[in-house]
């Protein structure tokens, strides 16, 4: 596992909002095909870190690499050039993101949600995009929901559709920002099942979650964030049974009790 290539690498990443520092020097590595679950209490910087990876937030210090490229910059002749908006868009299309609130485009049918990104971003023909959309909807168990509008679906269905939409532009890496936190409890498992399949297919995933069971079962590594720092990074068995910091122990006691 540790031989596979590095997809995300963070070196001393810092992020400030005004005079509040939310990321205080994050060192982090995720490898191709790995599932990383980021755990930790709210306000620990988990989501912020995730959003830095696809440049929805800009970092204020340190270095953050995705696929060997410095996020937000292009290196040429020993100089760093800030990316144009078009280049940022191209880089982002290789990184999928699944949001807590699903964020399906509410003025379009589910099918159009999957088709339009392919046509606009991947320059596919409408016919090709529709065919691929149907394959993906089948994969997440929504083959018959293409014509529905997002608000007509349950939260679990919407989140599965959002995952399918992310897959439609063929990302190398998918970021999940608390994908099940906005769901009714009985709908959580259908989304986790889709994510489990995705992990089994070899997708590189970074998942901010509160689902300890999912992390135990699927993750290759668990990263524990607290107070803007990455306190621990370890395989799930090791982290869940013998965490090395008091903060992690306290956190686990609270969530597992």
Q: Are 52 and 82 in contact (CB under 8 A)?
A: no
> Distance (Å, rounded) from C-alpha 93 to C-alpha 79?
24
> Distance (Å, rounded) from C-alpha 132 to C-alpha 137?
9
Residue choice 111, 157, 159, 180 for contact with another protein (CB under 8 A) = 111
Give the 3-state secondary structure of residue 212.
Answer: helix
> Distance (Å, rounded) from C-alpha 140 to C-alpha 98?
14
Angle formed at CA 245 by CA 241 and CA 247, multiple of 5 degrees: 100
Residue choice 103, 172, 189, 233 for contact with another protein (CB under 8 A) = 103
10/168 with CB nearer another protein: 168
Binding of residue 82 to another protein (CB under 8 A): no
Interface segment toward another protein; rule CB under 8 A; list 20-28, 65-73, 81-89, 211-219: 81-89
Binding of residue 65 to another protein (CB under 8 A): no
Least separation in angstroms between CB 105 and another protein: 6
Site for another protein in 141-180 (CB under 8 A): 146-149, 151-152, 162, 165-166, 169
26/133 with CB nearer another protein: 133
Residue choice 15, 31, 92, 132 for contact with another protein (CB under 8 A) = 92
130/247 with CB nearer another protein: 130
Q: What residues contact 157, with CB distance under 8 A and at least 6 apart? A: 142, 145, 190
Site for another protein in 192-251 (CB under 8 A): none
48/54 with CB nearer another protein: 54
Q: At what angle do helices 110-121 and 155-168 cross, to 10 degrees?
A: 20
Residue choice 22, 30, 97, 161 for contact with another protein (CB under 8 A) = 97
**Structure tokens, 44:** 């620990």
Tell whether the torsion through CA atoms of 107, 109, 110 and 111 is positive or negative: negative
Binding of residue 4 to another protein (CB under 8 A): no
Q: Are 178 and 100 in contact (CB under 8 A)?
A: yes
Binding of residue 5 to another protein (CB under 8 A): no
Binding of residue 85 to another protein (CB under 8 A): yes
The CA-based diameter of the chain, rounded to the nearest angstrom, is 55
Binding of residue 72 to another protein (CB under 8 A): no
Tell whether the torsion through CA atoms of 54, 56, 57 and 58 is positive or negative: positive
Instruction: Give the interface size with another protein as a residue count (CB under 8 A).
Output: 40
Residue choice 6, 29, 70, 121 for contact with another protein (CB under 8 A) = 121
Q: What letters, b where the CB count within 10 A reaches 16 and e where it falls short, cover 115-128?
A: bbbbeeeeebeeee
Q: Where on the chain is the footprint of another protein (CB under 8 A)?
A: 54, 56, 85-86, 89-90, 92-97, 99, 101, 103-107, 109, 111-112, 116-117, 120-121, 127, 130-131, 134, 146-149, 151-152, 162, 165-166, 169
């Amino acid at each position: 596992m540790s031989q596979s290539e590095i997809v995300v690498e963070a070196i001393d990443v810092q992020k400030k909002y005004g005079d509040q520092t939310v990321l205080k020097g994050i060192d982090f590595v995720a490898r191709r095909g790995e599932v990383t679950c980021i755990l930790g209490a709210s306000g620990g910087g988990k989501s912020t870190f995730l959003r830095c990876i696809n440049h929805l937030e800009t970092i204020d210090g340190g270095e953050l690499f995705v696929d060997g490229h410095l996020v937000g910059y292009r290196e040429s002749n020993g100089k760093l050039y800030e990316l144009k908006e078009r280049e940022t868009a191209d880089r982002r299309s290789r990184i999928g993101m699944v949001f807590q609130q699903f964020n399906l485009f509410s003025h379009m049918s589910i099918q159009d949600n999957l088709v339009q990104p392919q046509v606009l971003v991947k320059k596919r023909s409408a016919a090709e995009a529709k065919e691929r959309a149907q394959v993906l909807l089948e994969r997440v168990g929504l083959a018959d929901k293409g014509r529905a509008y997002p608000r007509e679906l349950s939260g679990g269905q919407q989140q599965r559709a959002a995952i399918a939409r992310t897959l439609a532009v063929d990302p190398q890496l998918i970021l999940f920002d608390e994908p099940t936190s906005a769901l009714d409890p009985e709908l959580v498992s259908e989304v986790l099942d889709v994510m489990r399949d995705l992990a089994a297919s070899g997708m590189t995933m970074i998942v901010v979650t509160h689902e300890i069971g999912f992390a135990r079962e699927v993750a290759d590594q668990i990263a524990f964030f607290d107070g803007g720092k990455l306190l621990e990074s370890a395989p799930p068995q090791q982290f869940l049974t013998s965490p090395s910091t008091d903060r992690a122990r306290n956190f686990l006691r609270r969530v597992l009790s």
